[in-house]
Structure 1
Amino acid sequence: MAVVPPEDFPRRTMQSGLDGAVLKFSARRLEDGGFSALVPDEEHQEAYENAEDLAGQLVGYALRKERENPDWTRAFNIQRIRDGIKEKVRSREWDFTPDEQEWIMKRLIALLEQPEGGDTMAGAAQ
């Protein structure tokens, strides 16, 4: 059973290229006849699951880097991770919006602040 994305997880807007000189926006028709520029629930769910999975994996990575480099501060390590995510997105290896990247970092910090450095996923990435 899928976990419902939390309210603070950003929702993507539809991306499209529309030709012409007149200003346009892309939208999809809803079942009630209205329109929405937001991605469907399934895409939102998938984006959330990917972001949550990455945050969980990064807990193990961050803790390992802290053990290997005791002179690094947590803030320094977090910045390195943030820069690494941006580079993976820039090189098109990962597909996260800027808002999703920020959410991942907030989630990572929250997981690291929990006892034992997060949930059980932390050990899986070591």
Structure 2
Amino acid sequence: MTRPHVVPEDFPRESSPGLVSGRQPKLLVRETNGRYYAGITDEELWIRYDACEDLAGQLADYGLRKMSGSGLSFDAALGRVEKGLRARVASGQWDFSRDEVAWMMKRAGELLSGTVNSDRARNAGV
């Protein structure tokens, strides 16, 4: 039995932006498997979340390497991670919304903080 995909409540659920010219109001929809959708499907939401969660983990690992290798503070390492993420999104290398970037930075901070705290506890003999 497969477990259903669960997307956290704090993950952005924005619909795809669209613009259609004309005088009459229009509803922007698309057809997928014979059904019409005004936003993204549950599967598309899961795919976006999964990609963001994976990248947040990679960003936290990168931040940890910066902290241990370069001696950067937590905030400085997280700032460097955010700068790189925003640069790649701005250049078009990565396709994430502003809200997804904010979510990934929050999540990367949580993951990095958890790793740093567990390392400190392990080093203190707790």
State the TM-score bracket (shorter-chain normalisation): 0.7 to 0.9
**Is this contact kept in 2: 1:12–1:44, CA < 8 A?**
no
Aligned partner (choices 3, 14, 27) of residue 12 of structure 1: 14
Where structure 2 has 5 or more consecutive residues not aligned to the other structure, the ranges are 119-126
Confirm or deny: 8 A CA contact 1:55 1:105 kept in the other structure: yes
Give 4+ residue runs of structure 1 displaced > 4 Å after superposition: 115-118
The residue correspondences of 1:1-126 to structure 2 (distance < 5 A) are 3-27=5-29, 37-70=38-71, 72-115=72-115
**Whose Rg is larger?**
2
Deviations 1:25-50 (A, max 9, x none): 42458xxx9x8642111111110000
Which protein, 1 or 2, shows the higher relative CO under an 8 Å CA cutoff with sep ≥ 6? Answer: 1
Asked whether the equivalents of residues 28 and 36 of structure 1 are also in contact (C-alpha less than 8 Å), the reply is yes
What is the alpha-carbon root mean square deviation over aligned residues? Answer: 2.5
TM score, norm. by length of structure 2? 0.75
CA displacement 1:70-121 (0-9 Å, x = unmatched): 1x22111111111111111111111111111111011111111224678xxx
Question: Between the two proteins, what is the percent identity of the paired residues?
Answer: 36
Aligned-pair CA distance for 1:65: 0.7
